[in-house]
Structure 1
Amino acid sequence: MQLVPRWVLLSSGSAPVLLIAGWSIAAALRGPDYDPVTQTISVLAAYGTPGFWVMTGALLALGVCHLLTAWGLRAAATAGRVALGAGGVSAWAVVLLPAPSSGGSLRHGTVAVVGFVLLAVWPVLAVDGVGTAPWCLRPVPCVVVTVFMGVGGAWFLVEMHRQGVVGVAERVVTAVQSVWPFVVAASCSRGSRERGRQAVGQEAGGG
């Protein structure tokens, strides 16, 4: 049985590409007044700033990718798929409630935190307790990834407090969160091929 449709590899693989391309192009359009080391990605999506439409489009596309991946990732537990899909919706909410070009925004910060939490816990919620589950849906890898994301989130908060390398911390965490769905999809796809080969071998042996 096919664990994931092949198009899930496309939707999940596109997520990190779109996100990273979005913040890279938007930063280039913003010019030298933007510092990717100390400023957040949200600053790039502030309405009216140069290149904001690029970052806005990237976040909208990211949300679509997560929703499609959650829909097609049938091998994962339902709770994890729901959390991943909700994380995609949170990306849209971040766009609908953009950060100002200067200063902070409680509403934007709230939806950003909700999105981070959803994307951080979905690996654990997606765990498949069956012993033959693909390795990316087994407890140990999922717990490790979730803990890593949690540590990354704490690092981001520390850098925010000390006004340090906020941009670096945010990019590391969001990059990992955008890549992990593809890793899971690829693991499930490989598991499907291995099961297919085993089934063929069993049929041949039985014949």
Structure 2
Amino acid sequence: MRAVPSWAVATAAAAPVLLVAGWTVAGARQPPGYDPVRDTISELAGEGATDSWLMAGCLALLGCCYLGTALVLHAAGLPSRFLLALGGTATIALIAFPRPQVGGSPAHGTVATIAVLALSLWPAGSALRLPRAVRRGVAASPAGTPPWAFRRPVALAATALLLVLFGWFVVEVTGGSRTGLAERVAALAVALWPLAAVLSARRAHRRFLARSPEPPAADPARPDGPPVSPGRPGAGG
């Protein structure tokens, strides 16, 4: 079982912090007419926004956080890591397709949809590969079960919740008055799950190391001989 480096915890933890800090600071720079409950995050990085570089920079760093997590989270499996990396790449690509000040943008909408769907579906990718992974001893704890974030019921429930939140955002876009609130809740939930997955994998790895059998001790009567297991009598016993 591969270890998750400490920097991956910091990277995953930085994602929700960057997101909240970005929309808070950038939102404070907007004219009084901007309403975070009604208006979206994309408007903060879009054309005509005051200091749009603030939210754009946070989105770029947020995407890099997702890419960094996907790079080292081996316990999730390749399908999930691919979706997480795709979501991170699409998040960064939003900078290249800002939302126009007036009207919509098919390119922005497409890239944003790819980002949200990939980041919502990546937990389920690990759940669908668990039976084979457990049999091969990959992504499993010493007890034979995967880290809790990658267990089938948990992973599928996470994806279901993220898709429900995304659905709420779509409903608000089509005629609601809380579009910004729905988007913020969904985006924050998406940003928190990689952190939960990283912490779960690290906890499982620590348990794996704690339960690993110690190497056999050397026989004091035969210092040059092969090691013997504790309690086994030596050659001269």
TM range (shorter): over 0.9
**Structure 2 residues without counterparts, runs of 5 or longer:** 135-143, 217-228, 231-237
Q: Which amino acid aligns with 2:171?
A: V
Match of residue 190 from structure 1: 203
Counterpart mapping for 1:1-207 below 5 A: 1-127=1-127, 128-129=130-131, 130=134, 131-199=144-212, 202-203=213-214, 207=230
Identify the range of structure 1 (164-173 vs 45-54) with the bigger mean alpha-carbon deviation. 45-54
Task: Show structure 1 runs of 5+ residues with no match.
Answer: none
Segments of 4+ moved more than 4 angstroms: none
Which of the pair is proportionally richer in helix? 1
Alpha-carbon offset, residue 5 of structure 1:
1.6
Residues 79-115 of structure 1 show CA distances to partners (whole Å, capped at 9, x for unaligned) of 0001000100001111100001232111101110111
Question: Does the 8 Å contact 2:12/2:65 carry over to 1?
Answer: yes
Rounded Cα–Cα distance in structure 2 between residues aligned with 1:194 and 1:59: 35
2:72 alignment partner AA: G
Contact 1:18-1:61 within 8 A present in 2 as well: yes
TM-score of the pair, normalised by structure 2: 0.82
Higher Rg: 2
Cα contact 1:69–1:181 (8 A) shared by 2: yes
Q: Give the alignment's TM-score, normalised by structure 1.
A: 0.94
Q: Distance in 1 between matches of 2:148 and 2:176?
A: 38
RMSD: 1.5
Compare relative contact order (CA 8 Å, sep 6+) and give the higher one, 1 or 2.
Answer: 1
Identity fraction in percent: 39
- Number of matched pairs: 205
Q: CA deviation at 1:60?
A: 0.3
Partner Cα separation in structure 1 for residue 36 and residue 102 of structure 2: 15
- Which whole-Å CA distance do the structure 2 matches of 1:13 and 1:101 have between them? 32
- Mean alpha-carbon deviation: is it higher for 95-104 or for 65-74? 95-104
Displacement after TM superposition at 1:48 (Å): 4.2
User: Is this contact kept in 1: 2:169–2:183, CA < 8 A?
Assistant: yes
Range 127-136 or range 189-198, more displaced: 127-136
